[in-house]
């Protein structure tokens, strides 16, 4: 039997195969599902407007606000530019922080990530139920340069990965909007050495990272890979392919917030790197969605009901 042909030497999902159209035609899909899937395959992203319950967003926001105001030692957070993870066991200024894997401690976050339109789309592109294995929530734009998640977010099958960005408020220009480069998920593989798709700061060094970042910036400057910004309304979501180049625009108005919740998913049969490196391989289930965490010890935690 012929081996499937993928865009990348690292393989991918069925939507990354050369015969994706034939495989799609064999599925019983609505016209809307076909249009959404085609957009995702060709452009590397899809936007679902008004996809998330506003009441569910308000419930999450209320709990996060209370946690930062009063402290909540069940939550973990980082400050921008610092990878150190700390318990939120005292009152902290919310601005300039990001909450890590809030779905473990807050049922309100898990409800957002189990939004039916999101789970259904992930089931379609994964051809199996999804595993939520990493998340961050932001109050301000990250201002992170263009990057591909495959360089930092590591699973054993590198391209079997997708991410979602949920708008927790109406996003205004100048707030450090999410930016992305349509079609950039089909750029040639960037091999960091050792036949791997992810960057290791110790073994690869800063120059390899700088060269890769310069490559993405150069490609994003070409007409076929223009950079667009995401100005969603509260409740909108953007789902992107593992290799879509994206980042945070410069913050032009520091008085503006850009409150958002980001999640990374893979098929439940895949293994995030921390399953092996950190030994935290416990998986809990919430309906058709499974979740795990490299920051929390789920083996000692009760599943969210």
- Between CA 181 and CA 225 the distance in angstroms is 5
Which residue in the block uniquely carries the two structure tokens 């935690």?
301
3-state helix, strand, coil in the chain (%, to 5): 30, 20, 45
Collapse the DSSP code of 33 into the 3-class scheme (helix H, G, I; strand E, B; otherwise coil) and give the result: helix
Q: At what angle do helices 116-126 and 31-43 cross, to 10 degrees?
A: 70
Q: Which of 84-98, 124-138, 141-155, 220-234 tops mean pLDDT?
A: 124-138
pLDDT exceeds 50 at position 223: yes
Across the strands, what pairs with 72? 88
- Check if the beta carbon of residue 272 is closer than 8 Å to that of residue 266: yes
| Averaged pLDDT, 269-295 | 93
- Check if the beta carbon of residue 85 is closer than 8 Å to that of residue 77: yes
Which pLDDT does position 3 carry in this prediction? 63
Counting Cα atoms < 13 Å in the Cβ hemisphere of 69 gives 6
Which residues does 62 contact at the CB level (< 8 Å), separation at least 6?
none
| Averaged pLDDT, 123-151 | 93
pLDDT exceeds 50 at position 131: yes
Look up the pTM and report it. Answer: 0.95
Handedness of CA 214, 215, 219, 220 (dihedral sign): negative
Condensed to tens digits (0 to 9), the pLDDT of residues 39-53 reads 999 999 999 999 999
Handedness of CA 204, 97, 133, 38 (dihedral sign): negative
Q: Mind listing the domains of the chain with CATH numbers?
A: 33-300 (2.60.120.620)
- Check if the beta carbon of residue 175 is closer than 8 Å to that of residue 207: no
Condensed to tens digits (0 to 9), the pLDDT of residues 173-219 reads 999 999 999 999 999 998 887 788 999 888 889 999 999 999 999 98
Q: Give the residue among 132, 147, 76, 187 at the shortest CA–CA distance from 304.
A: 132
Which pLDDT does position 1 carry in this prediction? 45
pLDDT exceeds 50 at position 32: yes
| Averaged pLDDT, 82-110 | 93
Give the rounded percent of residues in the chain with a pLDDT score beyond 90: 83
Q: Give the residue among 185, 101, 93, 176 at the shortest CA–CA distance from 147.
A: 185
Collapse the DSSP code of 117 into the 3-class scheme (helix H, G, I; strand E, B; otherwise coil) and give the result: helix
| Averaged pLDDT, 266-285 | 93
């Amino acid at each position: 039997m012929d081996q499937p042909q993928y865009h990348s030497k690292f393989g991918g999902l069925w939507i990354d195969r050369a015969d994706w159209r034939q495989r799609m035609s064999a599925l019983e899909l609505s016209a809307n599902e076909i249009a959404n899937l085609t957009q995702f395959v060709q452009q590397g992203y899809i936007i679902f407007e008004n996809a998330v319950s506003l009441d569910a967003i308000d419930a999450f926001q209320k709990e996060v606000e209370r946690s930062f105001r009063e402290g909540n030692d069940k939550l973990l957070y980082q400050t921008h530019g610092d990878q150190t993870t700390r318990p939120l066991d005292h009152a902290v200024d919310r601005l300039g922080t990001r909450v890590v894997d809030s779905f473990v401690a807050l049922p309100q976050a898990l409800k957002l990530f189990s939004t039916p339109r999101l789970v259904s789309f992930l089931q379609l592109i994964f051809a199996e139920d999804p595993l939520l294995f990493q998340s961050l929530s932001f109050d301000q734009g990250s201002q992170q340069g263009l990057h591909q998640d495959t360089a930092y977010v590591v699973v054993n099958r590198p391209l079997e990965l997708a991410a979602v960005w949920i708008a927790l408020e109406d996003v205004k220009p100048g707030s450090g909007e999410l930016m992305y480069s349509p079609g950039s998920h089909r750029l040639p593989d960037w091999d960091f050495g050792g036949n791997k798709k992810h960057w290791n700061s110790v073994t690869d060094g800063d120059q390899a990272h700088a060269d890769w970042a310069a490559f993405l910036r150069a490609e994003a400057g070409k007409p076929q890979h223009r950079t667009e910004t995401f100005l969603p309304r509260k409740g909108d979501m953007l789902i992107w392919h593992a290799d879509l180049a994206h980042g945070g625009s410069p913050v032009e108005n520091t008085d503006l917030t850009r409150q958002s919740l980001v999640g990374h998913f893979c098929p439940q049969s895949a293994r995030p790197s921390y399953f092996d490196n950190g030994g935290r391989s416990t998986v809990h289930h919430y309906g058709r969605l499974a979740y795990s965490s490299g920051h929390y010890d789920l083996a000692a935690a009760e599943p969210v009901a």
